[in-house]
Each structure stands twice: as structure tokens, then as C-alpha cells.
Amino acid sequence: MSEVFFTKEITPESLRRIYDALDIKLSGKIGVKVSTGEEGSKGYLKADLIGPFVKSLNGTIVECNTAYPGARNNEKDHLKTAADHGFTEFAEVDIMDADGEKEIPVPAGAKHLKYDLIGTHFDNYDSFVNLAHAKGHIMGGFGANLKNQSIGFASRNGKAYIHSCGKTKSPKLCWVSKHQQIDFIESMAEAATAVADYAKAEGKQIVYITVMNAISTLCDCASDQDDPVMPDLGIVASLDPVANDQAFIDMVWQFAAENPEHEGVKALIERIDSRLGREILPYAESLGLGSREYELAEI
């Protein structure tokens, strides 16, 4: 059973406290993987919240380019968007696939991907914070640590490969590739596990933190992201991304049970389940990425 720490308070101070509760001292050059947010999006993690924490780690914000057309599908525009959203005010921003990509192995038992593609700059870091923003997602149902580790760490072509469930690396062709929804959900789990396994093999530590604020039905990658549909829940942190994502899902369902007439949380749950979003959890568990069983420790 994994341990998940939880705080209802969402402040720069509580973000640092929940990281300290993990009792892990990250070493060397630290990459902090966040979504820099598409141009026009609203819910991405803001500089005034995460800036002090990233600075305290002397961390570098790390990202990869998007597969879809927009303001983040090349290094120049991506860096401008990151600057516009305040990230360069407190840290260096590194687009990890700016100089290319590399293949890493997928776990034994993977059904869809033959490999994963990540930015070559991944190897420049000794440890990572997977710092996710919890929200819905138009394709994956929801996004938190597992999405941030699969789609987020993938290069532009790697994102296309995951979205097409291993059929193409082309950002143009991936959107017309035919597959079942469950295949995409499982492909994300395979890619997230590949990153974790590769990091472990290379002696790199990853810690997982999810900020559950400004929870919308659309992802931070959406330029037309909707307003929050339910109250903020807090922050969860763990060394286990499956447990951390499961804790977020459980809190959403608990809020729904306690507020059965709340239309916003109904919309979020419909988004998650209509995309088979929760199916990523048992499949990731079956691949050995983590456990859905956890003990919640409030700090």
C-alpha cells in the first residue's frame, strides 16, 4: 500500500510542506515538469503559487512541444508562451525535445506501444518533480500525474505516437488515426510507466505532486478552457503516481456523493467516464507503475 500525503491548503508554503513530508531530498539538477498552459488557457499552475517552491529546489521548468497546432508546438513559440504565463520569472525553462528525441523501452506486457519517445534533454537531469494540475481532459477524461508523465514527458513526435496508440509518429497523421478509446488510455499508461522505468534504471528519482485547484472539464492545453466546475480540493503528493491519481479521483467522487445536485462535478464525472479515464489506473497498476491502494496522511 502506498502513502499519499494531503493538505487542503493551496499556498506556496503548503506546497513546500507537502514536498518535505515525502522525506526525499532530490539531488543534482532537478527538472520540474509542469504544463506551461496553452495560449488562452486559464487553469495552468500560476507563477505566484509554484514559483517559490521551484526556486527553493533551484529547479528548471521542463516541458516538451505539443503535437497539435498552437502556441507551443515549437521551441520559440513555446518559450514565448511560457514567458507570457510567468514561468521565466522564477526559473529557466527547458523544452526537452528542442534538440531531438530518443526511444526508451516500454514495460513488458505493453499492448500498444513498441517504445516511448522523450526529449533528449531528459538525460540532463538527475531528478524530477512531476508537478501536475488536476483537471478534466477532452481526450483522456482527466489529467494529473499519469498524463503529465506520459503525454507531458513525450516529445512532439512521441505525443503523436501515444495519441495514435503506436500507429504513427506524425503530428499531422495522429489525429486521423483510428483506434478504440481504451487503446489510447492504455497507451498513456504504457508511456508513463516507460518514463518511470527509464528514470529508475538511470538512477533518477521522480516525486509526484498534484495541485487540485481550478478544476475544469478541459485541460490546460485547451485555448478555450472552461471555468472551474467545482471547489478546490487541495494538494496530494506521493512517490507513487498511480496512488496519487487514485486519490484525486476518489476525492472527486467523494465530493459528488456529498453534493449530489452539484452540476459542475456531474459534468466533470461525465467527462472522465465518457472517455474511460479511470481505466488508466488499473492498467498502470498491472504494468507495475504503482498501486491503487493507498493510505492518506493529512498534513
Beta-sheet pairing, 294-298 with 127-133:
unpaired
**Residue 28: how many CB atoms within 10 A of its CB?**
11
pLDDT class of 3 with cuts at 50, 70, 90 = very high
Q: Full-prediction pTM beyond 0.85?
A: yes
pLDDT > 90? residue 299: yes
For 164-185, what is the mean pLDDT?
93
pLDDT class of 175 with cuts at 50, 70, 90 = confident
User: Over the stretch 59-94, which tens digit does the pLDDT of each residue have?
Assistant: 999 999 998 887 788 889 999 999 999 999 999 999
Assess contact for 149 and 192: CB atoms under 8 A: yes
- Alpha-carbon distances, residue 243 vs 82, 288, 289 (angstroms): 29, 12, 10
Q: What is the 3 state secondary structure string of the chain?
A: CEEEEEECCCCHHHHHHHHHHCCCCCCCCEEEECCCCCCCCCCCCCHHHHHHHHHHCCCEEEECCCCCCCCCCCHHHHHHHHHHCCHHHCCCEEECCCCCEEEECCCCCCCCCCCEEEEHHHHHCCEEEEEEECEEECCCEEECHHHHHHCCCECHHHHHHHHCCCCCCCCCCHHHCCCCHHHHHHHHHHHHHHHHHHHHHCCCEEEEEEEECCCCCCCCCCCCCCCCCCCCCEEEEECCHHHHHHHHHHHHHHHHHHCCCCHHHHHHHHHHHHCCHHHHHHHHHHCCCCCCCEEEEEC
C-alpha cell, 91: 526559473
Give the pLDDT of residue 223.
81
Give the pLDDT of residue 224.
85
For 198-220, what is the mean pLDDT?
96
Tell me the average pLDDT of the chain: 96
Q: Which is more confidently placed, 92 or 171? A: 92
Q: Where are the domains positioned within the chain? A: 2-298
Q: Which is more confidently placed, 126 or 66? A: 126
For 21-37, what is the mean pLDDT?
96
Q: How many Å apart are CA 61 and CA 54, to the nearest integer? A: 8
pLDDT > 90? residue 206: yes
pLDDT > 90? residue 161: yes
Give the pLDDT of residue 8.
98
Q: How many Å apart are CA 278 and CA 163, to the nearest integer? A: 17
Q: Is the dihedral of CA 39, 160, 34, 102 positive or negative?
A: negative
pLDDT class of 39 with cuts at 50, 70, 90 = confident
Residues with Cβ within 8 Å of 217's Cβ and at least 6 positions away in sequence, in order, are 135, 136, 138, 226, 229, 267, 268, 271
Give the pLDDT of residue 74.
85
For 10-24, what is the mean pLDDT?
98
Whole-number percent of the chain with pLDDT over 90: 89
C-alpha cell, 84: 507570457
Give the pLDDT of residue 67.
84
pLDDT class of 148 with cuts at 50, 70, 90 = very high
* ∠ CA 247-248-250, rounded to 5°: 65
Residue that the C-alpha cell 467516464 belongs to? 273
Assess contact for 111 and 122: CB atoms under 8 A: no
For 23-29, what is the mean pLDDT?
94
Choose the weakest-confidence range: 51-55, 76-80, 260-264: 76-80
Give the pLDDT of residue 124.
98
Give the pLDDT of residue 23.
96
For the domain covering 2-298, report its CATH number.
Answer: 3.40.50
